[in-house]
Structure 1
Amino acid sequence: MKEKLKKLLARFDALNRRERIVVSVAVWLVVLFVMDTLAITPAQRQSGAMVKAITDKQAELVRSETELAGLRSQRAQDPDAAARARIAELQKRIAVIDDQLKNARTQIVPPEKMAGLLEQLLRRNKRLELVSLRSTAPESMGKAEGAAGADKGAPAQGKGPAEALYRQGMELTLSGSYADMLDYVVQIEQLPWKIFWGRLDMKVDEYPRARLVLNVYTLSLDKTWLSI
């Protein structure tokens, strides 16, 4: 293996400057393709599936609470055994969804901890340079109208309206080698809390160093901008 590597390096050294640049760029493009195929795309796909599951549950919670408010209003005007049975069914369903959402939230990184975790991982790799780190505007994942919207004159009893879910994000710009960037991405994936992947853009500054713009986010019930 060492002999083969020596021969390859000797052949590379024998190339003129223009040929070396062409070969270096080709190698770097292959490296980027491998990084995207093995690390980034699977992580983005997994993140998307989890976000969809959470937002679907949140939407189901809103629908159930809205229907429950309407039935309570109807029962107040005209008590009915079928309405009472449906109310009991909805209350059980809402409790189940609440538990599922609470469990999902325990797996997601809290917004106030995300910046610290990302910087902590960077400190483990001195070869990676943090060019910039900024928070991005919170994005609503679908506004929850809540149960009160079903009948303004009949507020829901017990729970309030379902809360809106927000995407709280950060954008990091890093400078370093492919290997160090891949290691950083893998470390983020291995965190005990889930951080979701957004946009990822990599450009070669001067081979073998590149610049990586990485957008990551978490989910929150709070619309407040993340502090850094």
Structure 2
Amino acid sequence: MAREKWREVGRRIEAMSLRERLFVFVAAVVVAVALVQILMIDAVQGRVQNAEERLQSAEAARLQIDSQRELLAGQGRGDPDRAAREALAAQEARLTLLNAQLETRGHSLVPPERMAQVLKDVVGGKSGVRIVGFKTLGPRPVSLPDAPEGSPPGFYRHGFEITVSGSYADLVAYLEHLEALPWHLNWTEATLDATGRPDLKLTLIVHTLSLEEAWLRV
């Protein structure tokens, strides 16, 4: 079918004059050139469009980076010591909390001017128990947890050593009475001496905490 059409076209061209054949040839060339140009233009336009899209993406990324850079620069100019100040504020808040906790606990501790006298009164008020020795211990500075090296103590530990004498039952009653007091008296050591039986000697090392170095006054 296609061959017949081409043969028909060939016969028509052969029937044309030389001038008509020339026109047909020129028209065919023009059409072919036009098709080639259209195809080339489409390809070039596709490449141009892709290039433009890549340029737009790159420009958008550049603008975003510039914006972030300006934001960071503005933060640095506005508050260059922000991190240091925030760390200092956190430490101060922590110290304030510790001081408040210590002050709260201080209401239940023996006042400095009464600590020794309170224990003497307790011993004197218990029949069969008498004091045979008493001495104060020097204050010990206690640093706050995670405190920088060289920082001042957070509080002080004050203590004394007291020795009482009495029967076993009297000493047990004495300790129970001490524990029932409204103050928090902490003892780290307790030594019982039974060489003088029937009387026993009990030596206690008692301590408490304070914000002041000169806390215990006898």
Give the structure-2-normalised TM-score.
0.53
Q: How big is the shift at 1:136?
A: 1.6
The higher-RCO structure (CA 8 Å, 6+ apart) is 1
- Which secondary structure state, in structure 2, belongs to the residue aligned with residue 183 of structure 1? helix
Write the distance in 1 (CA, Å) between the matches of 2:82 and 2:138.
48
- Which secondary structure state, in structure 1, belongs to the residue aligned with residue 195 of structure 2? strand
Write the distance in 1 (CA, Å) between the matches of 2:157 and 2:82.
41
Write the distance in 1 (CA, Å) between the matches of 2:79 and 2:139.
43
Q: Contact (CA 8 Å) 1:111, 1:218: kept in 2 or not?
A: no
Q: Contact (CA 8 Å) 1:165, 1:220: kept in 2 or not?
A: yes
Aligned residues with identical type, % of pairs = 33
Write the distance in 2 (CA, Å) between the matches of 1:197 and 1:131.
18
- Which secondary structure state, in structure 1, belongs to the residue aligned with residue 107 of structure 2? helix
Q: Which amino acid aligns with 1:97?
A: L
Partner of 1:70: none
Structure 2 stretches lacking a partner, 5+ long = 1-75
Q: How does 1:91-110 map to 2 (within 5 A)?
A: 91-110=92-111
- Judged with a 3 Å threshold, the aligned counterparts in structure 2 of structure 1 residues 169 and 85 are, in CA distance, closer, same or farther, namely closer
Q: Contact (CA 8 Å) 2:168, 2:200: kept in 1 or not?
A: yes
- Which secondary structure state, in structure 2, belongs to the residue aligned with residue 112 of structure 1? coil
- RMSD between superposed Cα atoms in Å: 3.5
Q: How big is the shift at 1:104?
A: 2.2
Partner of 2:197: 207
- Which secondary structure state, in structure 2, belongs to the residue aligned with residue 205 of structure 1? coil
Q: How does 1:8-27 map to 2 (within 5 A)?
A: none
Partner of 1:176: 166
Write the distance in 2 (CA, Å) between the matches of 1:78 and 1:148.
28
Q: Contact (CA 8 Å) 1:144, 1:162: kept in 2 or not?
A: no
Is 1:111 paired with 2:112?
yes
Question: What is the aligned length?
Answer: 143
Structure 1 stretches lacking a partner, 5+ long = 1-74, 150-160
Q: Contact (CA 8 Å) 2:108, 2:184: kept in 1 or not?
A: yes
- Judged with a 3 Å threshold, the aligned counterparts in structure 2 of structure 1 residues 99 and 200 are, in CA distance, closer, same or farther, namely same
Q: Contact (CA 8 Å) 1:169, 1:217: kept in 2 or not?
A: yes
- Which secondary structure state, in structure 1, belongs to the residue aligned with residue 138 of structure 2? strand
Aligned residue among 179, 182, 188 for 1:189: 179
Q: Contact (CA 8 Å) 2:113, 2:216: kept in 1 or not?
A: yes
Partner of 1:43: none
Write the distance in 2 (CA, Å) between the matches of 1:87 and 1:227.
35
Write the distance in 2 (CA, Å) between the matches of 1:127 and 1:218.
27
Q: Contact (CA 8 Å) 2:112, 2:215: kept in 1 or not?
A: no
Q: How big is the shift at 1:107?
A: 2.6
Q: Which amino acid aligns with 2:97?
A: V
Q: How does 1:1-228 map to 2 (within 5 A)?
A: 79-82=80-83, 86=87, 89-142=90-143, 163-224=153-214, 226-228=216-218
Give the structure-1-normalised TM-score.
0.51
Q: How big is the shift at 1:175?
A: 1.2
